[in-house]
Amino acid sequence: MRRHRNVKIVATLGPASASKEMIRALFDAGADVFRLNMSHGSHDDHRARHATIREIEAETGRPIAILADLQGPKLRVGQFADGPHDLAEGDRFRFDLDPATGDAQRVQLPHPEIFAALEPGAELLVNDGKIRLRVDACGPDFADCTVTVPGTISDRKGVNVPDVVLPLAALSDKDRADLEFACELGVDWLALSFVQRAEDVEEARRLAQGRAAVLSKIEKPAAVRAFDEILKASDGIMVARGDLGVELPVHSVPPIQKRLVRLCRAAAKPVIVATQMLESMIESPMPTRAEVSDVANAIYEGTDAVMLSAESAAGAYPVEAVTTMDSVARSVEADPNYRAIIEASRAAKLHSVADAIVTAAREIAETTDIAAICAFTQSGATVSLVARERPRVPILAMSPVDTVLRRMCLTWGAHCVKTARLSRFKEAVVTSTRTAREFGFADETRQVVVMAGVPFNVPGTTNILRIAPCDERLIYATDPE
């Protein structure tokens, strides 16, 4: 089940992809990570899908990552007495805490935190930004606004507040319950919604207690402004362009995406580009050319993964959507321009022995006849550093730890293989060459670069690099012990 590409594919599961047959078909088509969207479905639904993924993992012998995406606090207006109302440009409209049903002049906004943060001149966006209102006057329980972009307002429509940092925790009571459920279930990654500051991430990490890695979704302007601190606190990042495009001018999203992807790569942390990548494939077996270009551009930028949402969760063509992403990725990575772009964006970063060793491994692999870089890891850090280099040869990521292998399924280029616990470097060399041959990365005429740390089974000890022949007779002839 070797993938012939480096970028990873995240597929969201839902009603269209709930059966074992469909999940297996998505995996066979190229899905490396499955996303459980906690905004939809019950705990029993997610438990069943988790169990199915683990069955497929056992049948295929390939680690599969599972990402649980927490909903985050949802800001919504109340209900209207007489159904939807059309708001025209220039109309005056009030949001308040009054639980009475709304009308053409006002509606409840049951979030006092919003009123506490608002200032005159701020914008309120309703229904994914289809309606925009400017705050003229506000207090602890109201906001009087003028409609600047007209539209129809109706029950329970979502509200965005792009101009201020809201005094809201990223984790609602539902999120806390979902987080504990997901960790007990054994998911590999938690995606945290509504991140505004590094403290939001740190709270999620405290609750997870190391049972899952924490990935921050960048979907608010506040998160873009505080990105450096959020990145330090996170294990990975998702560029959630849908909400970013609502709360920020849509033309500003592409350069933000490029900047965040590059910063994540420099930090050796995986990044997913998500939202509306192949949106038309919810209803069509073929994507638009613009969508294909969008996926391709994310790959050219160096993202670790691209994600399908409704396309695989609720669409009519989930397998075709994954197949399309796989085809686009393979086509881009075969383009000489892709290599030129990736290598031009490589930043020198030598701060540790491990940094120096992975840089040397990449340079050796690109200047000699090397079939693969074989990296043994206890925590996944070594493989992340190798992936940051974006080498031209495959990365064999080997570990005895199942949770580490699964988390690395989100890392660019990592072909994850479980090994026994090793005690000697020679065992690592032999295991590397056998694995490279078994999975078709090399034959007996080739060589591989082997990286490991001594003492073994201790995180953060990468300190050895060796070029090894894949012919075991040569290994034993030169190193009989």
- Which of the residues are catalytic? 35, 76, 217, 275
Asked whether the beta carbons of 205 and 234 are under 8 A apart, the reply is no
Cα three-residue angle 366-446-360, rounded to 5 degrees:
30
Residue 137 main-chain phi, psi, to 5 deg? -150, 150
Residue 160 main-chain phi, psi, to 5 deg? -115, 145
Could you tell me which of 89, 72, 366, 34 has the C-alpha nearest to residue 193? 72
Helices 20-29 and 318-333, interaxial angle, to 10°?
A: 10
H-type alpha helices, 70-212: 112-117, 173-185, 198-208
Q: Which residues contact 344 (CB under 8 A, 6 or more apart)?
A: none
Asked whether the beta carbons of 241 and 276 are under 8 A apart, the reply is yes
d(C-alpha 360, C-alpha 56), whole Å: 37
Alpha-carbon torsion angle 198, 200, 204, 209, nearest 10: 40
Asked whether the beta carbons of 249 and 257 are under 8 A apart, the reply is no
Query: DSSP string spanning 193-214?
Result: PS--SHHHHHHHHHHHTTSSEE
Q: Which residues pair with 134 in a beta bridge?
A: 123, 146
Count of other CB atoms within 10 angstroms of residue 211: 17
Radius of gyration of the chain (CA): 24
Tokens of 88: 């025209």
Query: DSSP string spanning 354-386?
Result: HHHHHHHHHHHHHHTTEEEEEEE-SSSHHHHHH
Could you tell me which of 153, 167, 152, 206 has the C-alpha nearest to residue 73? 167
DSSP conformation class of 66: E
Q: Which residues pair with 11 in a beta bridge?
A: 34, 308
d(C-alpha 354, C-alpha 463), whole Å: 6
